[in-house]
Amino acid sequence: MNLDWRISMALKHLAAFESSVDQGSFTKAADKLGTTQPSVSRHIASLEGVLGVTLFTRLYHRVELTAAGQEFYDAVKLGLGHIRQSANRITTRRDPETLSIGCTYGFAHLWLMPRFSALQKLICDQELRMITSDANTLFNLDDVDFALRFGRGDWADGEAREIFREQLFPVCSPRFAQQHFAGPHDVDPAWLATVPLIHEYEEDNSWLSWRQWLAHHRVDYAAPENAVYYDNYAMTLQAAMEGQGVALAWLQFTEPYLKTGQLVELRDLRVKTESGYYLVSRPQHPLAQMIGQWFKDKAIIHESDAR
C-alpha cells in the first residue's frame, strides 16, 4: 500500500476524530469538515481498528469519549495544534481570527485543557490555539499572543500578570505512602531522601528540584545514579500514580488527582517561593486584561480549596 496514501488517510482519521469530539457528534463534525456523516463514521471506525480500542460511546444523536478516547484526544489536540502553529509560523502575517497561547506540555495537559472550552467561549469570535513546548518555555511573543512563563515576572519583552505562585509538596500513590511511610502523615523530610524520588530533566534552575526542595527542609541530597527522570510534568505525575516513587507536586496541577485519591499529599511539607506562573503578552494587547483576569480567577477558585 502506498505510504503517502496511508499518511494522508491517517491525518484524515485524526481530523475527523478531533472534530467529532469538538462538535459532539459525527453529523456536526461532517458539516464542519464539509463531508458526510458516513464518511466521518468510517474514519472513526478505521482509527479504532488501528488502535484496537473504542474511542466513543455512541448515544442517541451524540457521542461521548471513552477513557481511552479522552486520553487519545488530549494527544491529538496537542499534536494537531503543533501542526497548525507551524503553518501559522511560516505565513507572512498573523491571522486576526486566531488567538494563540504558548505553554509547556504539562501546563496544557494538567491545567489548561480542562478549561479549554471555557476560555474558547470567552473569546468566541476567535479560534483559540494552544502551542506547547518543553524545550523552549519562554515562547517568543512574536510567535504567540500570550505566553505562560514561570519565574518572577521580570521579562523585558512584554507585560506579565501573575497567575499563581509556586507551592510544592511531595505526593505519591496511596499504596506507596502506606508501604514506605505507614501513611501520609508525619513524614520526616530526611526519610524522603532515602526512598525513590521521581525527577524531571532540568533545563534550568527556574523551579525547585528535589535537591532545592529538601534544602528548604535542611536536608542535603544528591540524586543517585539510578534515579528516575522524565521529560515533562504530566509524565512525572503519572509515574507517581503508578507507584514508582514520590514526586514534587504543584497544587494547581495535582488537585484533581488528590480529590480522586490517585495521589496523596505527604502532609505539612509545603514549600512556597517568590516564583510562579505568569501570563505574558505584548504591550498594549487589547485582550490582555480580560484574559489575564480569566486565568487569575480560575486559579483563585482552586487556591481557595487549599487548606
So what's the pLDDT on residue 306? Answer: 42
Q: What is the pLDDT of residues 175-203, one digit of tens each?
A: 999 999 999 999 999 999 999 999 987 65
* Half-sphere exposure in the Cβ direction for 53 (13 Å, CA): 12
So what's the pLDDT on residue 302? Answer: 44
Q: What is the pLDDT of residues 41-89, one digit of tens each?
A: 888 988 888 889 999 988 777 788 998 999 999 888 888 877 776 666 5
Place of cell 504591550: 283
So what's the pLDDT on residue 134? Answer: 72
So what's the pLDDT on residue 273? Answer: 86
So what's the pLDDT on residue 31? Answer: 82
Q: Is 252 exposed, middle or buried (0-12, 13-18, 19+ CB in 10 A)?
A: buried
Q: How far is CA 73 from the centre of its chain?
A: 13
So what's the pLDDT on residue 86? Answer: 67
So what's the pLDDT on residue 274? Answer: 87
Mean pLDDT in the chain? 85
- Which architecture does CATH list for 143-307? 3-Layer(aba) Sandwich (3.40)
1-93 with 143-307: one CATH topology? no
The residue among 18, 7, 148 whose CA lies nearest residue 75 is 18
- The domain spans of the chain are 1-93, 143-307
- Which architecture does CATH list for 1-93? Orthogonal Bundle (1.10)
Is 218's pLDDT higher than 70? yes
Q: Which has the higher per-residue pLDDT, 89 or 262?
A: 262
Q: What is the pLDDT of residues 83-118, one digit of tens each?
A: 776 666 555 345 568 899 999 888 998 999 989 999
Q: Containing H/E element for 213?
A: helix 210-216
Q: DSSP readout, 142-210?
A: TT-SEEEEEESS--SSSEEEEEEEEEEEEEE-HHHHHHHHSSSSS--HHHHTTS-BEEE--SSSSS--H
